[in-house]
Amino acid sequence: MTWVVGITGGIGCGKTAASDYLAAKGIIVVDSDQIARQVVEPGQPAWRAIVDHFGAHQVLLPNQQLNRSWLRTRVFEQPEERLWLEQQTHPAIRQQTQQQLAQASSPYAILASPLLFESGQQALVQRTLVIDLPESLQLQRASQRDGNSEAQIRRIMSAQISREERLQQADDVVNNAGSLANLQQQLDALHQQYLALAAQTSPSPSPK
């Protein structure tokens, strides 16, 4: 069985910077956001359900891809629509996530997921790592990165558990309020810890 670390954090906290750094060390990263995009590609069952529900003229772009900007606004303005959307996508996301984690060949694997705790994906991992930022910095970095308004970012944050809840559930926390070098220094120490933990849980080779 693959030993898995779940990396999460609020919008703008630096989850991708953290997972990319560990990926550069040879660690397999399974990205739930990428899988979420794959399960709503044109022709997929979840794509068909979304088109039927919202109507092609609203939710589709000319190339038949989902109009993610329109859909994001709609589901964050109407929580019942967000719940409906999650019911269409989460089972497929979970199935593909489990398959990719099982195939990971590195000493340990990472599940990078912004909704690790909210979606119940922490059940798929042995340890959880939260990339943390104060809310003011989170808003600043997210708006600089995505060009979204503060109101839009706050709506996304409100759909996630609070910073306090996330920290309470974390096994490990990295403070990303400083420089990239500081983030990487903290990750270096955790990487060594995870290698050791994964090695402890690996099955012993059969005696010859």
Side chain identity at residue 108, one-letter code: Y
17 known ligand binder: yes
Dist. CA 165–CA 157, nearest whole Å: 13
- pLDDT means per 10 residues, the chain with 208 residues, are 92 91 97 93 95 94 93 88 91 92 95 90 95 85 72 76 92 94 97 96 50
Q: Which domains does the chain have, with CATH numbers?
A: 4-200 (3.40.50.300)
13 known ligand binder: yes
In the structure encoding, which two tokens stand for residue 192, read together?
């060594």
- Let me know: does 2 contact 109? Beta carbons within 8 Å: yes
Q: Is 131 exposed, middle or buried (0-12, 13-18, 19+ CB in 10 A)?
A: buried
In the structure encoding, which two tokens stand for residue 82, read together?
């967000």
Q: Could you report how far apart the first and last alpha carbons of the chain are, in Å?
A: 22
Of 4, 7, 23, which is closest to residue 131 (Cα–Cα)? Answer: 7
Backbone angles phi, psi at 193, to 5 degrees: -65, -45
25 known ligand binder: no
20 CA to centre of own chain: 13
Dist. CA 97–CA 92, nearest whole Å: 8
- Count CB neighbours of 184 within 10 A: 16
60 CA to centre of own chain: 24
Dist. CA 93–CA 103, nearest whole Å: 16
Q: What is the pLDDT of residue 190?
A: 98
Max Cα distance, the chain (Å): 65
In the structure encoding, which two tokens stand for residue 116, read together?
């690790």
184 CA to centre of own chain: 19
Q: What is the pLDDT of residue 141?
A: 80
14 known ligand binder: yes
Global pTM reads 0.82
Dist. CA 159–CA 105, nearest whole Å: 33
Dist. CA 126–CA 101, nearest whole Å: 12
Distances (CA, A) of 2 to 9, 98, 105, 110: 22, 10, 8, 10
Q: What is the pLDDT of residue 202?
A: 63
